[in-house]
Structure 1
Amino acid sequence: MMALQWRWTVVTLSVMLLLVSIHLQEGEGRQQHFVLIHGLGHVAWCWYKIVTLLKQKGHRVAALDLTSNGINRAASTDQVNSIAHYAEPLLEYIRNLGNNEKVTLVGHSLAGCPLSYAMELYPSKITKAIFVAAFTPRNNQSFLSSANPKSFARLVENGVLVLNVKADSELPTSASLVLDHVKSYLYNESPDEDANLAQSLLTPTPFPVSVEFLKLSEERYESIRRFYIMLMKDRLFPPEYQEYSIAQNPPEKIFKMHASDHSPFFSQPQQLCNLLVHIATL
């Protein structure tokens, strides 16, 4: 009798595990709609591996150039003086979604600001927001004020980041990554071919978007589920600085990519793709 009961228990557990596995596979098999936003210096091209992997899995995906970056030359870098202007390609994309369409937003690094701005404006169109080593400003914070004060001072002092100032401007108009340092700070775990490609395509980023204070409400911005992906071999924005930003505005859940530098779309594309799909289906 005991042997029979044991066999039935084993069979029951096996069936339950099979059903759970099928359920998870079905969940992750549903088509998701991702919108990928680049960080400082980068543009839509940086996501090329992730776009390919997501599409191979049957998902919809858009990688966007923000204003003055990449092929979006609606304005020059020095002409962009607000987050609204900088984020306009993202806002336009969301506005043009169908009545029942929703997206998962993915933002890398500086993209935490335009991401948060869009979340406040269009909460009903966004299912989740995923911050990839990104800054997570809360209400009445800017990109810079949400960061550990040492973050940018360190990069400027080490010659990794240069602030560009025009003669008639009190504040810097843009910020540029110094090409001599990008391999060791941004692509220390990435393939050489990707690092070389990036060095030929990096562009300045409008500086005013980093000091503008955001208005983020509990009813709109905070109604969207937020997730964070930490990059544990990041030298540009090291884990301790990521933790500082996370503590300012904690997400629902934190994931860690232990082998990734600041550019997981190059160094660990398959793992990043899998994580994005997993989070989108939670």
Structure 2
Amino acid sequence: MADRQMDSGGGGKHFILLHGLAHGAWCWYKVVAQLRAAGHRATALDMAASGVHPARLHEVASFEDYSRPLLDAVAASPDSDRLVLVGHSLGGLSVALAMEWFPGKVAAAVFLAASMPRVGRHMGVTIEEDLELAKLLVRPGFQFMDDPTMKDETLLTDGNYGSVKRVFVVAKADRSSTEEMQRRMVELSPGADVEEVAGADHMAMLSKPTEVCEVLVRIAGRYD
């Protein structure tokens, strides 16, 4: 699949890793290597018009189109291949969409300093005050705040999104999305377990890759 920048083989769990606004699959390269060394599969994806994905931003008409590489990857996975989806920052919203569409294929969803929506609220509410989103301009990005998917308060349901185990991972040294802001995200979306990565800045997968890998493996072992 062309949208997969890094897909490492092996047994164990299968992690699918999603970047934040304006970044790409490349930001997960340290974590992919460590997950593979631990005997797991790891797939880091470029969302549409991100990383090395060939689309231009003006060609991406909706948040669903932006998230299509993830949705297609989950749809194509075998039913027996229960996935651990990991979303960083804005990537949490693409993970949420995949959880709603394919709850039976997701063993757990991990929100790494990420936007984590709740049932009964529109997804856009999670990023209306996220200062980090304005700072990650590695490649032009778009928040899709006016997209119908972002504004639909009935999109996420208890039976689908709400049925998937959720874990929020707090990056404790994040200065763009502070620990207080991250814990507020957990309060706004109750029902998630919480893990912490001490000393991790917002790009925790780069600043503390070993610790992030350890947390992901621990979470994967908890939920089958």
Give the TM-score normalised by the residue count of structure 2. Answer: 0.86
Contact 1:83–1:113 (CA<8 Å) still a contact in 2? no
Q: What corresponds to 1:235 in structure 2?
A: 175
Matching residue's letter, 2:136: L
CA distance in 1, matches of 2:19, 2:105: 20
Corresponding residue pairs, total: 208
Give yes or no for the alignment of 1:119 onto 2:104: no
Distance in 2 between residues matched to 1:236 and 1:210, nearest whole Å: 24
Query: Equivalent residue for 1:169?
Result: none
1:35 is matched with 16
Secondary structure of the structure 2 residue equivalent to 1:235:
coil
1:213 corresponds to: 151
1:177 aligned onto 2:136: yes
Instruction: Kindly indicate whether the alpha-carbon contact (under 8 Å) linking 1:81 and 1:208 is maintained by their aligned counterparts in 2.
Output: no
Q: Alpha-carbon deviation of 1:45?
A: 0.1
* 1:76 and 2:14 aligned: no
> Cα offset for 1:177?
3.3
Q: 1:210 to 1:124 in 2, by over 3 A?
A: farther
Structure 1 residue 84, shift from structure 2 partner? 1.0
**Equivalence map 1:73-222=2 (5 Å):** 73=54, 75-147=55-127, 150-152=129-131, 161=134, 177=136, 202-208=138-144, 212-214=150-152, 215-222=155-162
Contact 2:23–2:136 at 8 Å: present in 1 too? no
Rg (Cα) greater in structure: 1
Name the residue aligned to 1:67.
48
Identify which of 49, 52, 56 aligns with 2:37: 56
The code of the aligned residue for 1:226 comes to R
Structure 1 residue runs of 5 or longer lacking an equivalent are 1-29, 162-175, 179-201
After superposition, give the CA deviation of every residue in 1:53-112 in whole Å (9 maximum; x if it has no partner): 000011011000001111212x31123232210110001111111232211000000011
2:186–2:192 contact (8 Å) kept in structure 1: no
Question: Displacement, 1:246?
Answer: 1.0
- In the alignment, does 2:190 pair up with 1:250? yes
Mapped contact 1:110–1:143 kept (Cα < 8 A) = no
- Within 2, Cα distance between the matches of 1:210 and 1:107? 21
Task: Provide the C-alpha distance between the structure 1 equivalents of 2:84 and 2:22, rounded to a whole number of angstroms.
Answer: 23
Cα distance 1:97–1:245, how it changes in 2: closer, same or farther (>3 A)?
same
Q: How far apart in 2 are the matches of 1:252 and 1:70? A: 29
> d(CA) in 1 for partners of 2:146 and 2:88?
14
C-alpha displacement of 1:236: 1.1
Paired AA for residue 177 in structure 1: L
Structure 1 position 135, deviation (Å): 1.0
Shift in CA distance, 140/208, structure 1 to aligned 2, threshold 3 Å = farther
Distance (Å, rounded) in 2 between the aligned partners of 1:116 and 1:255 = 18
Q: Which runs of 5+ in 2 are unaligned?
A: 1-10
SS in structure 2 of the partner of residue 217 of structure 1: coil
Deviation at 1:210, TM superposition (A): 7.5
Equivalence for 1:274: 214
Offset of residue 140 of structure 1: 4.7
Whether the 8 Å contact between 1:81 and 1:206 is mirrored in structure 2 is: no
Aligned in 2, Cα 1:76/1:266: closer, same or farther, shift over 3 Å? same
Local SS of the residue matching 2:200: coil
**Higher helix fraction (1 or 2):** 1
Identity of aligned residues (%): 32
- Report if aligned partners of 2:120, 2:157 keep a CA contact under 8 Å in 1: no
Which residue of 2 is the match for residue 189 of structure 1? none
> How many Å separate the matches in 2 of 1:229 and 1:222?
18
